[in-house]
Amino acid sequence: MASQASRHRAPRPATIEATDPRQPPTVPSCTQRQQLAERLRGVALEAGRQAAGLLRENFRTGIGAEHKTNTHDLVTELDRRSQLLLTRELLSRCPDSWVLGEETVEDLPTGDPSGPIQWIVDPLDGTSNFVHGIAFFCVSIAAAIDDELVASVVIDPVTGDEFSANLQGAFLNGQPLRPRPRPGQQHANLMTDYPSAEAIAADGRIALDLFGQWVLDFATVRRKVSAAMALAHVAAGWADATIGFDTKAWDVAAGAHLVRMSGGSYRGLHHGGEPGPDHLAPGFIAQGPGADYPSLRTAAQRIAEHRSAAARHGR
Tell me the pLDDT of the chain (315 aa) as tens digits.
Answer: 344 433 334 344 454 443 354 554 454 578 899 999 999 999 999 999 999 999 999 999 998 878 767 666 678 999 999 999 999 999 999 999 999 998 877 767 789 888 899 999 999 999 999 999 999 999 999 999 999 999 999 999 999 999 999 999 999 999 999 988 999 999 999 999 999 999 999 999 999 999 999 999 999 999 999 999 999 999 999 999 999 999 999 999 999 999 999 999 999 999 776 789 999 999 999 999 999 999 999 999 999 999 988 888 776
- Predicted pLDDT of residue 90: 97
Instruction: Report CA torsion sign: 73, 76, 78, 84.
Output: positive
- Predicted pLDDT of residue 72: 66
Cα torsion through 97, 98, 101, 107, rounded to 10:
130
- Predicted pLDDT of residue 9: 40
- Predicted pLDDT of residue 14: 54
Residue 241: which H helix or E strand, with range?
strand 241-245
From the list 92, 116, 79, 94, the residue with the least C-alpha distance to 1 is: 79
**Cα(110)–Cα(98) distance, integer angstroms:** 6
**Cα(226)–Cα(21) distance, integer angstroms:** 31
Beta-carbon neighbour count of residue 176 at 10 Å?
Answer: 11
- What is the pTM (predicted TM-score) of this model? 0.89
- Predicted pLDDT of residue 29: 74
- Predicted pLDDT of residue 250: 97
- Predicted pLDDT of residue 24: 47
What domains lie within the chain, and their CATH numbers?
30-61+69-176 (3.30.540.10), 185-314 (3.40.190.80)
Binding residues for Mg(2+): 102, 122, 124-125, 251
- What contacts 21, CB < 8 A, 6 or more positions away? 39, 42, 43, 93
Binding residues: 102, 122, 124-125, 251
- Predicted pLDDT of residue 33: 92
